[in-house]
Structure 1
Amino acid sequence: MLNQMEQPSNSSSNSSSSSSPYPPFVPCFTSEIKSLIISLSVAHALLLPLFLYVITVGYQRWRKDGFLAPFTTWSHIDVFTYNVVFLDLFNIFGTFFYFLGAVTKRSDVQMAGSGMFGVFFSGQTLFHLLTCMERYLAVVHPVSYLRLKGSAGVRARNVTVGCVWMVSILIMALIVQRVIPFVIINVLLLSFTSLAFVFCSLSVLCALIGPGPGRTRNRVDQSKRRALNTILIITGTLFLRFISSMISSILQNVTSHFEYLYCLIGWSSVWFLVPSSLVLPLLFLQRAGKLTVCGAKIK
């Protein structure tokens, strides 16, 4: 969606919209692109019950544990999951505003939708990174991880969560003000996080393969296997996003003189963000014992 905010270098459009930071409405809102936006809206509508269910489970837990429990006693990974769910809801509203702005030809409403998407894109990626780092510490550095579960670690986590939101908003502001192109932010953010995910995956895998003190390779701790599975699932979805973003960025640079293709490629690449929205909510419900298959709970 943010890719559409950057004006393609088409000389025919410069004369009509050279003073506007938004793309022209006609080539970027054809019937095909409209169908893509509608299909994405339908996908978001199908995901909405999942997000609302996670929020409901969290709300019930919040009422039971107390008002300050999310900031004091809840686990790091649960807090990260709740933040990702709120970001996904943010993205749903962003898609709606973008579609509404395109239909009504209100560039300010369209830009508001793109801004919401930008906060979601950066924030979700960073929270996935924090989740992988949390699992990495739990397996590879258990002593340090136990310290992080104390009050000092909880305070550090709360500050980190606030910083992620601030960084996401700052990145979005830089893109909106055209200080930094979105493609650069996209490449830097996804490249850094992808390397971090690979490092975490390999480190946890080595910790599982090694026998370690007091245990053999045949008696691997199941919690560490689950930690590895979590990291691998997140890594897989983020690599899918990384590859699709890189391919779409290359194709958009090649087709930058053709606004229709430029916008069509940008909207098509948004589909590859959907799997990453499923990971943490489903893993959260699995930990809470809320997932059922044929009437049996998955634990």
Structure 2
Amino acid sequence: MSDNSSFPFGASLHPFSFHNCFHCTVSNFIVTAITVTNSLLTLPVSVIVLHVGRRRRQHPTVTSHTEVITYHMVLTEIMYIVASVLYCISVYTDLQWMMMASSNVSFIVACGQMFFHVLTCVERYLAVVHPVTYLHLRKGGRVTVRNTIVWCVWLLGLAKMGVLAINSLEINVLVYLIQQAVALAAVAFCSIAVLQVLKRPGPGEGGGDRERVDQSKRRAFNTIVAIMWTLVVRFGGCLVCTLLYSSSRLSINSRCVAFVSSYWFCLPSSLVSPLLFLHRAGKLPCFKGNTESERQSP
């Protein structure tokens, strides 16, 4: 265990005693590869989503709850990438105080990412399983509820600093494992409930509209399946990697490699929601024709 006094910001603020991984060559290489990949793939998509969202926010009638959550989600992605870049700089310049600051920010932002992904699944669950309640919440007077929930997510991310201040590997790992397990259970429950509703025939699906309704349901079904599996991979992978990190049977270098490898499991879910948003907005050239035909269909 490294000496906490060697860090200006105090290692007690850092979860999982991750400062022990600062000089692990393999884990730093993995973090660098993940940072470069995110900078090339996730960052451009996130910036485009915010740009499109800024223009769509000028027309509140076309802005849904899911879109607002997506805006905040991509904002956390950008913050996470910036923190990752700073961490990589600290590794190659041997600035341990920058490593501490950037890695703390990344863990706090990751908490917000998790809650925003869960909120997206809950929103789809309400829209499909409880449509009456969902329509009631979509009224203008209920926007305050949504905004309050969104800002509570940010506050929870800041509140995590209190957990990080507890200089206990066991407590930090336990809290993180509980978060990932609860998120995984919530995503699985909401997604399975939505899929069950989509598989059942609804009222008014007979006659000439049946084929169009079936195609619409099939697209929704495939979308939910894609989102569900990316989130299962994200939370399930992080869960397994954290369990490996907490194992005392592994060397510190192996534990560091296991933990940073969990970031690869986050990449699919970091891309799928923004890409689906751009697809719905007709901003993906390769799918623009399909989106326009969907809009024009009666």
TM-score of the pair, normalised by structure 1: 0.82
| CA gap 1:34/1:206 in 2 versus in 1, 3 angstroms | closer
The farther-off stretch of 108-117 and 122-131 is 108-117
Q: Percent identity?
A: 36
Q: Pick from 180, 183, 188: which aligns with 1:193?
A: 183
Superposed CA deviations along residues 83-115 of structure 1, whole A, max 9, x for unmatched, are 011000010111122223333433332122112
Distance 1:128 1:150 in 2: 23
Q: Which residue of 1 aligns with 2:246?
A: 253
With 25-34 and 154-163 compared, the bigger mean Cα shift is at: 25-34
In the TM superposition, what whole-angstrom CA distance separates every residue of 1:209-253 from its partner, at most 9, and x where no partner exists? 333333359564655554444432222112112232232223223
2:236 is the alignment partner of 1:243:
yes
* Partner Cα separation in structure 1 for residue 171 and residue 290 of structure 2: 44
Alignment deviations for residues 66-97 of structure 1 (CA, whole Å, 9 cap, x no partner)? xxx4xx87210100110011000010111122
Q: What is the root-mean-square deviation in Å for CA atoms of aligned residues?
A: 3.0
Contiguous gaps of at least 5 residues in structure 2: 292-298
In 2: Cα distance, 1:192 partner to 1:27 partner: 27
Quote the residue 2:31 is aligned against.
Answer: 37
Which shows bigger deviation, 135-144 or 74-83? 135-144
Structure 2 equivalent of residue 4 of structure 1: none
Choose 237-246 or 85-94, whichever is displaced more.
Answer: 237-246
- Is the CA contact (8 Å cut-off) linking 2:79 and 2:109 kept in structure 1? yes
Q: Cα deviations across residues 166-192 of structure 1 (Å, max 9, x unaligned)?
A: 011212441244367332232212211
Residue 54 (structure 2) aligns with: 59
Aligned twin of 2:123: 134
Against the structure 1 CA distance between its residues 27 and 163, is the aligned structure 2 distance closer, same or farther, given a 3 Å change threshold?
Answer: closer
Tell me, in whole angstroms, the C-alpha distance in 2 between the residues paired with 1:24 and 1:281: 30
Q: Deviations over 1:261-285 (max 9, x none)?
A: 2222222221111111102100100
Local SS of the residue matching 1:112: helix
Q: Choose 42-51 or 179-188, whichever is displaced more.
A: 179-188
Counting helix residues as a fraction of each chain, which structure ranks higher?
2
Alignment of 1:200-219 (within 5 A): 200-215=190-205
Structure-1 separation of matches of 2:198 and 2:37: 37
The alpha carbon displacement at 1:199 in A equals 1.8
**TM-score normalised per structure 2:** 0.82
Partner residue, 1:94 = 83
Number of residue pairs aligned between Structure 1 and Structure 2: 281
1:50 Cα shift? 1.1
Distance in 2 of aligned mates of 1:127 and 1:16: 35
Distance 1:210 1:159, change over 3 A: same
**Cα separation, 1, equivalents of 2:249 and 2:255:** 6
Amino acid of the structure 2 residue aligned with 1:122: C
